[in-house]
């Protein structure tokens, strides 16, 4: 049996995610009131119009992606299987993705989110030093040139402090000022 299966990729899921956000936005826009009152546009008119045009454009993008996925799918072989074959042929795991994010990107997001929490809690110096060191390890590898990474961490943290606090007079949070 010649079964043609296809796999949806980021080209479909990204506009689909935006469509969900747009729908929430549209519902909230309707809560602002009717789009027209006494022949004049109200605060909800423009958002409603924008959201409706956006939904049409997103539907077109999703349809385009669906058509593309179906056209490129191979018979008797799912895209997942095809991808598995490709991955087994390639020794690198760098292309592996989770919810469309590479492990490196997930690492940067996680570290940055942690930095934002630590920035307020333990102040600029400790939070930044830790953040920079971990980013250096993420971008440059864990085992390579560790002493130079520690020196770079100290230099970047101090340079950031001098730039913002001393040169541009920005009051940064510190552990001793909490």
Partner 1 sequence: MDSLSGLLGGFTALANPETLLYMIGGFLIGTFFGAVPGLTSVLAIALLLPLTYSLDVTTALVACASIFMAGMCSGSITATTINIPGAPASMMTALEGYPMQQRGEGAKALGHAALGSMIGGSIGALLLMVVAPLAADVALLIRTPGKFSLIAFALIVIIISQRGSVTKGMIATLLGVMIATIGIDVVQPVARFTFGTSVLVQGIDMMPLIIGAFAISELLIQADSRRARTVDLSQVQAARVRRRDFIPPLSEVREIGLLRYLKSAVIGYAVGILPGAGGSMAAFVSYAESMRSSKHPERYGKGNPEGIAAAECANNSMCGGAFVPMLTFGIPGDPTTAIVLGVLIINGLQPGPQFMTQQLDLVAPMFASLFISALVLIPLTLYLLGPYFLKIVSIRRDVLYSSIAVVALVGSYVATYSTFQMALALVFGVLAYFMRKQKYPTVCLLLGFVLGPSLEEYCRRTLSISDGNPLVFFTSPDSLFFIALTAVFFYFMVIRKPKDRGIPGQAQG
Q: Does 47 bind partner 1 (CB under 8 A)?
A: yes
| Residue 122 binding partner 1, by CB under 8 A | no
Q: Does 108 bind partner 1 (CB under 8 A)?
A: yes
Is 17 in a helix, a strand, or coil?
Answer: helix
Tokens representing 59?
């539907």
Q: Does 6 bind partner 1 (CB under 8 A)?
A: no
Contacts for 32 with CB less than 8 Å, ≥ 6 apart = 42, 43, 44, 47
Using rule CB under 8 A, residue 119 touches partner 1:
yes
| Single residue of 74, 94, 162, 175 touching partner 1 by CB under 8 A | 94
Of the candidate residues 20, 112, 154, 175, the single one contacting partner 1 (CB under 8 A): 112
The correct pick among 2, 3, 39, 98 for binding partner 1 (CB under 8 A) is 39
Q: What dihedral angle (degrees, nearest 10) is formed by the CA atoms of 84, 88, 92, 98?
A: 20
Q: Does 158 bind partner 1 (CB under 8 A)?
A: no
Report if residue 110 touches partner 1, rule: CB under 8 A.
no
67: its two tokens = 């058509």
Stretch that binds partner 1, among 18-26, 70-78, 79-87 (CB under 8 A): 18-26
Degrees (nearest 5) of the Cα angle 19, 83, 81?
100
Count of residues binding partner 1 (CB under 8 A)? 71
For the chain, the distance separating the N- and C-terminal CA atoms, rounded to the nearest angstrom, is: 70
């Amino acid at each position: 049996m010649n079964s043609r299966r296809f796999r949806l990729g980021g080209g479909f899921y990204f506009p689909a995610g935006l469509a969900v956000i747009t729908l929430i936005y549209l519902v909230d826009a309707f809560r602002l009131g009717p789009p027209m009152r006494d022949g004049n546009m109200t605060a909800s008119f423009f958002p409603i119009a924008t959201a409706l045009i956006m939904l049409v454009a997103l539907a077109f993008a999703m349809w385009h992606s669906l058509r593309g996925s179906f056209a490129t799918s191979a018979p008797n072989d799912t895209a997942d299987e095809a991808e598995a074959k490709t991955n087994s042929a390639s020794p690198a795991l760098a292309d592996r993705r989770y919810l469309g994010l590479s492990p490196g990107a997930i690492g940067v997001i996680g570290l940055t989110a942690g930095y934002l929490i630590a920035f307020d809690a333990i102040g600029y110096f400790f939070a930044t030093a830790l953040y920079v060191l971990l980013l250096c390890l993420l971008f440059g590898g864990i085992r390579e040139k560790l002493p130079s990474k520690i020196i770079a961490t100290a230099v970047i943290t101090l340079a950031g402090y001098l730039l913002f606090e001393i040169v541009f007079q920005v009051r940064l949070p510190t552990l001793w000022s909490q």
